[in-house]
A and B are shown apart, each in its own frame.
Chain A
Amino acid sequence: MPSNAETILETAARLRRDVGGNLHDRLTEAIYADAGKIVARAVSSDEKSNNRNLEQTFDRLVTSRWFGFPLMILLLTGVFWLTIAGANIPSAMLGDLLQGTVYNWLHTFAAALNAPWWLKGLLIDGVYLATAWVIAVMLPPMAIFFPLFTLLEDLGYLPRVAFNLDRLFKRAGAHGKQALTMMMGYGCNAAGVVSTRIIDSPRERLIAIITNNFAICNGRWGTLILIGAIFIGSTAPPALASFIAATSVVAIAILGVIFTLLVSAFLSKTWLKGEASSFSLELPPYRPPQIWQTLYKSIIDRTLIVLKRAVWMAAPAGAVIWLMSNIFIGETSIATHLITFLNPFGLLLGLNGVILVAYIVAIPANEIVVPTILMLTLNMAKSGLAQTGVMLEFDDNAQIQQILTGVGGWTILTGINLMLFSLLHNPCSTTIWTIWRETKSLKWTTIATILPVILGIIVCFLTATIARLSGLI
């Protein structure tokens, strides 16, 4: 402590009494008075403009009590519809190229080099195949979805969504700015957790951190879009398939918002009691998006970065999957042991052992869930078929569906519950680490990690039980 600190503070206290109360207000008034004078001298406006009026009319519509939410859902459905309808063909082409042509070429090449079987397996059937899956499954939807989402962001739509949601957050005892941190989470939950710094109150900030995982991140959109397309979309007539699939993805996203609100309300009534604090949210002007910059930004800055991360994660995961499938304890592989062990619990939840193992392998990155599931399912099938040497080819959604239903024994319930579990499970390891870094609290990091999994188990168990009791499956 500096020797004279207390003297200074005493002087300050004495002078404070001298200058009188409400100094803060007087200072603020002085600033505003000066600002007003300066602006009066420097700015002149021509009232003929009706630009602002148009914008205000539009804002009233977008944020209105009646049209706000339907418009939001419509826009979101439109975005996913374009994504799903547009991604199918390029996905099939990429799959054909990477898992067909290049894969076969690599095997021929390896055979010519006389590479040992385990090296071929580890590198081609493990590392390469997992990477190829990630690219084929994720690149096309991301390359369509991200630019569309970025356009909405540039336009200034996101703060309007936050404005619409503010009422609900307040009712849940949470901070209205949590809607903005949730928007950030739709890109990446780790970024979403960091963005909670805009919330002043530690109580409300913790709520925002714990519930950020209910905002579906980049790594999970791909899973939802694919599973929605092949399990939900396929139940509808072909003309409506993409639309129905898009609706199912939107439904999961909305469910995420509902869980955010419910868990926020629960937390603010129990462990994190308190009143919601008020704040002012600024609605930015609508800005005409710069199409080329948006494309560049969303392809280079988002799509490729997310893809790069996915590939980095998929390569070692591919090796792990191959090793798990090819190292035997007794008569069966490690993968089979694990899957058989987890299968009863998985089936109880309307999932299966493969899915649960995939979610363990995919803790570092949600992006690799679907490729892991497919590789494990195929490896299981191969060992079941007693290594017949038959190459299973698969290059579009219909074939992925065949693998999952035919080989993996999936039903529509498995598809729906995988979508639910994709929403409700632990955050990825990067996000967990970020939560720890932001809170420096073991307790809250653990709660933020475990709570969503518990919810996922409960919800999946309920849907599975209801489906079974009502005889749907």
Chain B
Amino acid sequence: MTTQAKTISECGSCATSCNTAHLTKLGIKTGGWDYVVALAGNPNTGKSTIFNRLTGLHQHVGNWAGKTVTRAEGAFTLNEKKYKLVDLPGTYSLLSTSVDEEIARDFVLFGKPDVTIVVADATRLERNLNLVLQILEITDRAVVALNLIDEARRANLTIDERALARDLGVPVVPMSARRGEGVTELLNAVESVAEGKFPARAHRIKYADEKLEKAIETLAAELRAEFADLPNARWVALRLLEGDESIIKAVRLNQLGTVKEAGIFPSLVQIEAN
């Protein structure tokens, strides 16, 4: 696939990306990376468009929810560091149950990406923040791509991205992936988070409930003692307190932290039994 590796600086027509002289799109050559970057977000917010922009690949892009159902992987290099980019199926929440949403959830939770880009639709920010906040519960190493900013402008919405970044505690990059606006800024933000240059203090949801906080900590401590390399003990603890069956089962079977391969049809046996 060498034909797909081309430097952006070669294409003089796209003025917006010309200061990204150090970006090389590597297509599907994903071996030997320095950083893994996950692309998460609600359905139909432009994850695949951003993915294609950065990797030079042509993932099918459609204007509808539910188009990407598997993980797609691509790569690019930026300032001599190689990044593997993983495009995840769209999901409204990390608490859901269908196979495509589980793929996204498991990767963000247990795939240990170095940076998670959360793509948010600027025209539907409040609803999109639901997932952003859930992801920030899990990781500090995130960048919010405020995509479709051109549509937001057309709808006369003004978004103060500085206020947003302050509240969320992670970089917020307004962009229009379709037009190639904000791609450079997104890459800069990803780089600074990946290299630990951004002092991330991600927003944490305030439960205003001391009893709950204490319960989470007790349980998280037990989990950490048992599963040494579990990255998100607090999150798992919360799910256990909620009584999430799939997490309870994962603890029992010692499958916490395994990233499930796509294409498994979990409850078929159940149907056969009916």
Contact = CB atoms under 8 A, between A and B. Distances in A.
A188 to B, nearest CB: 10
Contact of A153 (B63, B65, B253, B267): B63
B50 to A, nearest CB: 15
Nearest to B133: A31
B270 interface: yes
Interface string B245-257: 0001001111000
Given A12-B241, A27-B242, A290-B178, A159 B64 contact: yes
B240 interface: yes
Given A42-B159, A202-B270, A297-B58, A5 B98 contact: no
Given A16-B243, A35-B129, A43-B158, A156 B65 contact: no
Contact of B267 (A15, A39, A202): A202
Interface stretch (A89-97, A373-381, A438-446): A438-446
Query: By CB atoms of chain A within 10 A, which of B60, B160, B178, B272 has the most?
Result: B60
A441 B252 CA distance: 27
Contacts of A393: none
B215 A19 contact: yes
Query: By CB atoms of chain B within 10 A, which of A26, A155, A437 has the most?
Result: A26
Contact of A38 (B60, B62, B123, B167): B167
A8 interface: yes
Query: By CB atoms of chain B within 10 A, which of A12, A32, A198, A441 has the most?
Result: A12
A12 B218 CA distance: 9
B157 A26 contact: no
Interface in A14-50: 15-16, 18-19, 23-24, 26-27, 30-32, 34-36, 38-39, 41-49
Interface stretch (B27-35, B79-87, B219-227): B219-227
B99 A197 contact: yes
B155 A51 contact: yes
Given A26-B207, A440-B265, A9 B252 contact: yes
A270 to B, nearest CB: 12
Given A27-B207, A38-B164, A1 B65 contact: no
B65 A282 contact: yes
A8 B271 contact: no
A4 B222 contact: yes
B240 A153 contact: no
Contacts of A7: 222
B98 A197 contact: yes
Given A15-B219, A27-B238, A199 B98 contact: yes
Contact of A49 (B89, B155, B167, B254): B155
A36 B62 contact: no
Nearest to A23: B242
A48 B263 CA distance: 48
Interface in A417-473: 437-441, 443-444
Contact of A45 (B157, B167, B215, B226): B157
Interface string B46-61: 0000000000001011
Given A15-B215, A202-B266, A282-B44, A30 B207 contact: yes
Nearest to A273: B274
A44 B238 CA distance: 34
Given A15-B219, A272-B271, A24 B167 contact: no
B150 to A, nearest CB: 10
Contact of A195 (B69, B95, B125, B208): B69
Contacts of B265: 202, 205, 438-441
A300 to B, nearest CB: 8
Contact of A11 (B178, B207, B218): B218
A8 B248 CA distance: 10
Contacts of A272: 271
A153 B133 CA distance: 31
B207 A8 contact: no
A12 B205 CA distance: 21
Interface size class of A (residues with CB under 8 A): 35 or more
A52 B205 CA distance: 32
Contacts of A9: 240, 248, 251-252
B70 interface: yes
Nearest to A3: B226
B151 interface: yes
Contacts of B154: 49, 51
A8 B223 contact: yes
B65 A159 contact: yes
Contact of B129 (A38, A158, A206): A38
Contacts of B167: 38, 41-42
Nearest to B248: A9
A5 B218 contact: no
A180 interface: yes
B229 interface: no
B203 interface: yes
A202 B271 CA distance: 8
Contacts of B66: 177, 180, 195, 198
A12 B240 contact: yes
B168 A38 contact: yes
Interface string B123-165: 1011101101110000000000000000100111111110110
B130 A32 contact: yes
B126 A35 contact: yes
B126 A36 contact: yes
A89 to B, nearest CB: 30
Given A12-B248, A41-B160, A180-B64, 12 more contacts: A1-B252, A2-B226, A9-B240, A15-B218, A16-B242, A24-B95, A46-B158, A162-B64, A284-B44, A287-B151, A439-B265, A439-B268
Interface of B: 43-44, 58, 60-67, 69-70, 89, 95-100, 123, 125-127, 129-130, 132-134, 151, 154-161, 163-164, 167-168, 178, 203, 205-209, 211-212, 215, 218-219, 222-223, 225-227, 237-238, 240-243, 248, 251-254, 262-263, 265-268, 270-272, 274
Interface of A: 1-2, 4-9, 11-12, 15-16, 18-19, 23-24, 26-27, 30-32, 34-36, 38-39, 41-49, 51-52, 153-156, 158-159, 162, 177, 180, 183, 194-195, 197-200, 202-203, 205-206, 272-273, 281-282, 284-285, 287, 290, 297, 300-301, 437-441, 443-444
26 contacts: A2-B251, A5-B251, A7-B222, A12-B219, A15-B218, A18-B211, A27-B205, A27-B238, A31-B134, A34-B133, A34-B205, A35-B126, A43-B157, A45-B155, A46-B158, A51-B154, A51-B156, A153-B62, A158-B63, A159-B64, A194-B69, A197-B70, A200-B99, A301-B60, A439-B268, A443-B272
